[in-house]
Amino acid sequence: MTLASSYDIVVIGAGPAGLAAATEAAARGLAVALIDEQTAPGGQIYRAITTTPVRQREILGTDYWRGETLVAAFARSGATHSPRTTVWAVTREGDGFEIGLSTDGAAHLIRAAHVILATGAQERPFPIPGWTLPGVMTAGGAQILLKSAGLIPGGATALAGSGPLLYLIAAQFAAAGARIECLLDTTPRGRWRNALGHAPDFVSSPYLAKGWSLLRAARSMTRIIKGVENLAAIGEGKLEGVRFTTGGRSYDIPADLLLLHQGVVPGINLSNAIGCEHRWDATQACFTPTVDEWGATSVPGITIAGDAASIAGARAAEARGRLAALHAACMLGHLDAPQRDAHSGAARRELKRWSRGRRFVDALYLPAMQFRIPSGDTVVCRCEEVTAQQISNTVKLGCTGPNQMKSFLRCGMGPCQGRMCGLTVTELIAKERGVSPAETGYYRLRFPIKPITLGELAALPQTEASIDAVVRIKQ
């Protein structure tokens, strides 16, 4: 669908939070556009929900197929959907915002009175020796191939890391016919003691039954090895095996594919570039935007919904999407505060239900420090091929933070714009300096936050100011 030049609300990201926000806002009579990079709505959790070739519904599970209901509700809402569209800038323009977009290689600008960021989560960096070898990839990336193309690994596959998603992916691939050699669980032994204080909420949450079911499914389909440390991918030119220790003994196992995963963190590049305030969340060991109960940020007119604000899962993201839309409608004068509050009851109840037990999960699966802060010649910044030792040496020379590190080593200046190295660089610098990640800070991002061509920029409509600037240069 062709985009108009302006909207009341632009929602960025078509996962559960974005779909719920766009549907709710459209129901309030607002002109809404939902922008997303993928060809169809659903985000990562519901990737290819309308087109997946996986027809055996039990392989992907009931949680995945719930996405059909969300997508159908959005399709009936009347909101505009712009797929295959990358947002590369959001800047203040008068009382609203100007949004820079590229669709199928063509750049253009639209305006919005209010912007809801529903950019979701990304997999946490997992920098181990050999993680750049062909044959090593993230478990989430492999899951996308299963959902969108029905592809499964053809050789011996090992999964390594921690968290519920790792067990879910192992069960999904095994059910689809993949040869899963083992699941290497890096959750530190005794970590359950940290989570014990949150057990009462977890026991009464929906996560208990889901977690137990996942564990049983994974155990019935593959070998699970716990207490894994000193994990490394080994091979010459490609992955040939996985090396690790557990129980004080070292092991090598052959593998054609290694899938890594140690949880997800909010995708903050866009909110960071816009100028929203962020803080270090020690519970989830990542930076998160500072938001209120509605998702409102420190930048008026910018609201954040779902896992882009903090990790809580798909069902909580739906509820937060609806709350963000109600807040935006109130800010734009389509609802007064009492009406907004009255309409928020169902979403708040859902949010409370699906947030219960989250602290237990966060405490249990906080990744071990050795897998967050690498050493030696382990690559940290994949784009610029910068190692942990280079970063440590640069700190010893007087570098105090990630932004200064850019000048020394170009960390975070490649195509991914720090997505794959940002947290690692922050924690590595913090460790070397003996300070907190909060004091160390994060990359300061600038637009465009996604790669675009000069041709796309040149094709944008020219303003009098831009034309005058070119004339002055020629003179």
What CATH number is attached to the domain comprising 415? 1.10.10
At residue 470, the pLDDT reads 61
Which domain does 308 fall in, by range? 6-122+265-358
Task: Using alpha carbons, list the distances in angstroms from residue 47 to 50, 166, 361, 455.
Answer: 8, 17, 24, 30
Q: pTM value?
A: 0.94
Strand duo 32-35 + 80-82: pairing = parallel
Q: Which of 261, 291, 323 lies at the terminal end of a domain, its last residue?
A: 261
C-alpha–C-alpha distance, residues 32 and 434, integer Å: 47
Query: How much of the chain is in helix, strand and coil states, percent to nearest 5?
Result: 40, 25, 40
Instruction: Say yes or no to pLDDT of 344 above 80.
Output: yes
Whose structure tokens read 């609300």? 9
Q: How far apart are CA 96 and CA 111, in angstroms?
A: 7
**Helix spans in 180-293 (H):** 192-195, 199-203, 207-221, 269-274
Q: Assess whether pLDDT exceeds 80 at residue 464.
A: no
Q: Which of 264, 50, 28, 252 is nearest to 166 (CA)?
A: 264
Residue 36 has a pLDDT of 98
- Compute the mean pLDDT over every residue in the chain, rounded to the nearest whole number: 95
Q: What is the pLDDT of residues 413-432, one digit of tens each?
A: 999 999 999 999 999 999 99
Strand order in the sheet with 157-162: 136-138, 257-262, 157-162, 180-185, 223-225
Longest alpha-carbon distance in the chain: 75
Domains of the chain: total: 3
Integer Cα distance of 133 and 106 in angstroms: 34
Same domain, 147 and 214: yes
Sign of CA dihedral 275, 280, 286, 291: negative
**HSE of 472, CA atoms in CB hemisphere, 13 A:** 6
Q: Do residue 269 and residue 257 come from a single domain?
A: no
Query: What's the confidence (pLDDT) of residue 457?
Result: 83
CA 404 to chain centre: 25
pLDDT score at 473: 58
Q: What is the per-residue pLDDT across 8-30, written as a single tens digit (0 to 9) for each?
A: 999 999 999 999 999 999 999 99
Claim to verify: residue 324 and residue 227 sit in the same structural domain = no
169 occurs within a structural domain: yes
The single-letter DSSP state of residue 296 is B
Binned at pLDDT 50, 70 and 90, residue 220 comes out as confident
Higher pLDDT, 104 or 42: 42
Q: What is the DSSP letter of 131?
A: T
Residues 304 and 402 in one domain: no
> Does residue 328 share a domain with residue 247?
no
**Residues 152, 254 within the same domain:** yes
pLDDT class for 475, splitting at 50, 70, 90? low
C-alpha to C-alpha distance for 428 and 413, rounded to whole angstroms: 17
